[in-house]
Structure 1
Amino acid sequence: MLNNENNISYHVDLPYPEIKVEKENSRYANILLHNYSGIVSEFTAIDQYVYHKFKLFKDCPAVSQAIGEIAMVEMHHLEMLGELILLLGEDPRYWIKKKDKRYYWNGKFVDYGNTLKEYLDYDIQAEVVAIRDYNKALNEISDPNIVKIIERIILDEELHLKIFKELYAKYVKTPE
């Protein structure tokens, strides 16, 4: 997943662990459903980043391309989480479960924004919260296979945060 134009990598240059679990575990699956399709999740990030990519396509193509590349990495994360959720014995629909109720993903979860500054502010915040939520999941899951996968995803999210901050510094004009 390299940007051929300027050879920037949008994922950490380390292999992803094998997708496997010790055994089915509904509790772990429900934890991962939040990272998969909760308010701040891989599914929300993909939709938000693709929207921002489209909105910036004409006026700021370099940022548009970078956001699109990051969205592709998030799609890979979504795929890995979906496979884990299945292996853990649950349905990887775009929902979360709370107290025997299901709440489906909603387009209102996306922070749309109207300006380059807002897009990047929202994308930076999404990465900060994603990292926090993945670390929370690490504290609740003891399956070493899942832990390795989450730790690897966090490395990508930290890189995305760094890239978004660099894009902000380069392209957002601040008052002097």
Structure 2
Amino acid sequence: MYSVDLPYPEVNVKDKNPQYIDLILQNYASSISEFDAIAQYTYHQISYVYENIEVSQTLRGISIVEMHHLELLGEILVQLGAEPGYWINNKKPHYWSSKLVDYDLSSLKYILTVDINDEKSAIKQYKETITKINDENINDIIKRIILDEEYHIQLLLGLYKKYVEQ
């Protein structure tokens, strides 16, 4: 319901290139990452649970899909020989921080706009990652994740049209 109805490729990294670790960590736990998306969607979802149940349920559903993406990227990290920690830069970790979550709840328009823009940024970052990785399996997983991120934009735009543009 909150993801594209297509299977995810099995994680089976062929090219265990250590340079891929930092590329995956960027998508895993940076300011534009699955971990950050989970935290932000969960914050927004809880904040709207009594204001707008449809918005809250949609954000919760999206966050669960993002958790699956986090798992897939974490498995890739493990297969690359890294720990699936919440940091970027494997050699000198910079830890993920809750400061990266946008806590502004001033309006539904604002949070939906932020979430839509964050999905667009994630897609852009994933596409850049694909250009730097020469492992077909990793890239197939990322391409599948991108399909979900594009679908999330559609869901968020639907909420925007229904509740903001009314």
**TMscore range, shorter length:** over 0.9
Kindly report which structure 2 residues correspond to 1:102-117, keeping only aligned pairs within 5 A, or say none.
Answer: 102-114=93-105, 115-117=107-109
In structure 1, C-alpha distance between the alignment counterparts of 2:62 and 2:70, rounded to whole Å: 12
* 1:96 partner letter: I
Contact kept, 8 Å, 2:22 with 2:89, in 1: the verdict is yes
Contact kept, 8 Å, 1:53 with 1:68, in 2: the verdict is yes
User: Which residue, 124, 132, 139 being the options, matches 2:131?
Assistant: 139
% same residue = 47
Deviation at 1:135, TM superposition (A): 0.2
Of stretches 111-120 and 42-51 in structure 1, the one that deviates more from structure 2 is 111-120
Q: What TM-score, normalized to structure 1?
A: 0.91
User: Which residue, 98, 122, 127 being the options, matches 2:119?
Assistant: 127
Q: CA RMSD in A?
A: 1.2
The residue matched to 2:93 in structure 1 has which SS?
strand
User: Which residue, 151, 154, 162 being the options, matches 1:159?
Assistant: 151
Deviation at 1:24, TM superposition (A): 2.1
Deviation at 1:122, TM superposition (A): 1.0
Deviation at 1:101, TM superposition (A): 2.3
Task: Choose between structure 1 and 2: higher strand proportion.
Answer: 1
* 1:108 partner letter: K
Deviation at 1:121, TM superposition (A): 1.0
In structure 1, C-alpha distance between the alignment counterparts of 2:9 and 2:42, rounded to whole Å: 26
Contact kept, 8 Å, 1:25 with 1:89, in 2: the verdict is no
Deviation at 1:116, TM superposition (A): 1.1
Segments of structure 2 that go 5 or more residues without pairing to the other structure are none
- Residue 27 (str. 1) matches residue 19 (str. 2): yes
Contact kept, 8 Å, 1:36 with 1:42, in 2: the verdict is yes
Contact kept, 8 Å, 2:41 with 2:59, in 1: the verdict is yes
- Residue 42 (str. 1) matches residue 34 (str. 2): yes
In structure 1, C-alpha distance between the alignment counterparts of 2:162 and 2:104, rounded to whole Å: 19
